[in-house]
Chains A and B, each alone.
Chain A
Amino acid sequence: MIIRGDEPEQIRLIKKLYKPGNYFMQGNEAVAYGALFAGCRFYAGYPITPSSEIAETMARELPKLGGYYLQMEDEIGSIAAMVGASWTGFKVMTATAGPGFSLMQENLGYAVMTETPLVLVDVQRSGPSTGQATKGAQGDFFQARWGTHGDHPIVALSPTSGQDAFWETIRAFNIAEKLRTPVVVLFDGVLAHTREQIRIPPIEEVEIAYRKLPQNDEEAKLPFGDPHGDGVPPMPLFGHGYFTHVTGSTHKENGLRDVYTPEVHDRLVRRIHRKIEGNRHVYEKYEEHFTDDAEILVVSWGVTARPALGAVLKAREGGIKAGLFVPKTVHPFPAERMRQLGKKVRAVLVAEMNLGQMIIEVERYLNDDVLLKGVNKIGGVPLTVEEILREIRGVA
């Protein structure tokens, strides 16, 4: 069994095609190159602003690497094709935006339930509905978490720049592979279309992870078992004679459906949760600036983390002890660290391009004596340093 993308031939092609160095490119292109470096060799998608350049870059580059670009008839078909391809051993990705993300939700749940590794990039745009189709936003925080139905865990990352998007896309693939789970990348329309200097590293600098494959027939017979106690079952790929049965219905360890026994459902769904919760070290990531002595903490994510850092720096210049906390993995939320920081500060400001989403998550980890306030802006224009600074001053 082989996971495509790891053969020496692939490394040779990457080296030949992508010379390390600094390039001037869009955030969307950085996502695409991150995927290519991570070993993605199958992309199925449906165009939607502001994500389309990811598809366009993949359509241009994948064939060079012997990989496959498929433009499907819609987003539902796109994620479906990805799941099919993932079971044959491909590392797979799609990119979309709000409306397309909504269409993908049912099969995102399918991927959670069948433990299929895949990467779904949601380039958030201003909604609801078709909203401001070409503008960026951060309104899908909860769609990523709760968009599909039922009890399910999800891992979602959020890059803060084009350069970060390159590395976070790679990290998304590694998490998807290590935990045999779909991973959402919450990007946004602002960074997606911002051109900046992005360093493409030599491939040797890139950690590349692969899913666990069964070591013997016994393991292959239990595609949804837990032989190693980490909640992550080895994945018997299709086409190798294991006669694997995969279903989104509640199934036993051998894959066969059992929707009547409460214990079977309980065991399966709890294990899928435990697999994510119990492996925080695989995906938990956050950034901190000046949090050691901060009295006012700004919490921000994605595109807004950049003006937030500017505001914190300016506040410091003005003698205000401000600090910044940026969850990079936004789901599951870095709860423990948030709780610790919450105990040390007097006020918390949550800056985001929506009417208040991550703030709901942050609030869960704060005591009542902490002043909590949202710094919010919608309309497709990012928050500025001054706007965030004004709020910091307001609580200083």
Chain B
Amino acid sequence: MAKEIYSRYPLIKYLRKEALPTALCPGCGGGTVLNAFANAVDQLKIDPKDLVVVSGIGCSAWIASPYFLADTLHTTHGRAIAFATGVKVGLPDKKVVVISGDGDLASIGGNHLLHAARRNIDITVILVNNFIYGMTGGQVAPTTPFGAKTTTSPYRNIEHPLQISETIAAAGASYVARWTTAHVYQLIESIKKAIQVKGFSLVEVISQCPVQFGRRNRMKEPAEMLRWYLKNSVPISKAKNMSPEELEGKFVIGEFVNRERPEFVTELNKLIDEVQEHFGLKGE
């Protein structure tokens, strides 16, 4: 039965069939993200041969690796962006996309995220923010809302969540946007833009983890979580006129930056050209 549904799904051609069905829980936002990514690739008419997808460790890391049928590099926890940096230097004409979780990319991998944005290397990062460590059993994350309950903040979280998009926009990325899994069309458009931008791009997707987060925070149904997102999402234009107190507990969504800045691998190749020119090493 399940097989039939899969074979009828038109974007199945982008998936590694022998790896299906996915390991994601029913109702996990990861499915929406995979769907949005496949849609973006399809709408942009990108040949998967021109795509390398890199991910770290966590549920969200599985979204495209192994499921997406492209060259996929499933790396160590937190290091996906650094691995992707090497891939991009080697294959500057390919689209290098990192899809992974908030714990993976912003906690253990926070340093790589920050520096990739600073360098403005042409990598697209789709960061799946589910406010929790899903794979390891629902521990507190650097994105867990203040006051929320997790297995390692069983009374309440007393730490303040990292605002990832704001931070990476400030670090120098070319393109930054944040949406939730309740904003699928906007999400697809942003992923498309991010892939096309020449420079570092981040699309943060607030995504439901009903199993580890919702269950412990009075939202065990995926739909309840989506309603929570919708109710508390504030467009960035509106958020600009709101006080920090008013924004407490809200999800600012929209495009944070979209700008041109010199890109790392392009600059690297330019530099090599100049050096070779300077030393008279260009082919005779």
Contact = CB atoms under 8 A, between A and B. Distances in A.
A239 B48 CA distance: 10
A84 B86 contact: yes
Contact of B49 (A17, A72, A241): A241
B223 interface: no
B215 interface: no
Contact of B82 (A81, A92, A241): A81
Contacts of B16: 243, 245, 256
Contacts, number: 147
A225 to B, nearest CB: 15
B48 A243 contact: yes
A86 B89 CA distance: 11
Given A107-B76, A247-B66, 8 more contacts: A42-B90, A63-B276, A67-B272, A68-B272, A74-B111, A76-B82, A80-B79, A244-B71
A77 interface: yes
Contacts of A42: 86, 89-90
A64 B275 contact: yes
A82 B86 contact: yes
* Residue among A9, A81, A110, A249 facing the most chain B CB atoms (10 A cut-off): A81
22 contacts: A17-B279, A42-B86, A42-B90, A66-B272, A73-B111, A76-B79, A77-B112, A78-B82, A80-B83, A80-B112, A84-B82, A84-B87, A88-B90, A90-B86, A110-B76, A238-B91, A238-B94, A243-B48, A245-B65, A248-B74, A248-B75, A256-B66
A117 B111 CA distance: 26
A246 B276 CA distance: 35
Contacts of A244: 71-72
Contacts of A238: 52, 71, 73, 87, 90-91, 94
A66 B272 CA distance: 6
Interface in A59-118: 63-64, 66-68, 70, 72-74, 76-78, 80-90, 92, 106-107, 110
A97 B182 CA distance: 48
Nearest to A107: B76
B281 A17 contact: yes
A9 B82 CA distance: 29
Contacts of A32: none
B75 A80 contact: yes
Contacts of B76: 80, 106-107, 110, 248
Interface of B: 16, 18-19, 48-49, 52, 54, 65-66, 69-76, 79, 82-91, 94, 111-112, 114-115, 268, 271-272, 275-276, 279, 281, 283
Interface of A: 9, 13, 16-17, 42, 44, 63-64, 66-68, 70, 72-74, 76-78, 80-90, 92, 106-107, 110, 238-249, 254, 256-257
Contacts of B87: 84-85, 87-88, 238
B112 A16 contact: no
A247 B73 CA distance: 6
Contacts of A110: 75-76
B71 A242 contact: yes
B173 to A, nearest CB: 15
Nearest to A61: B275
B281 A13 contact: yes
A110 B80 CA distance: 12
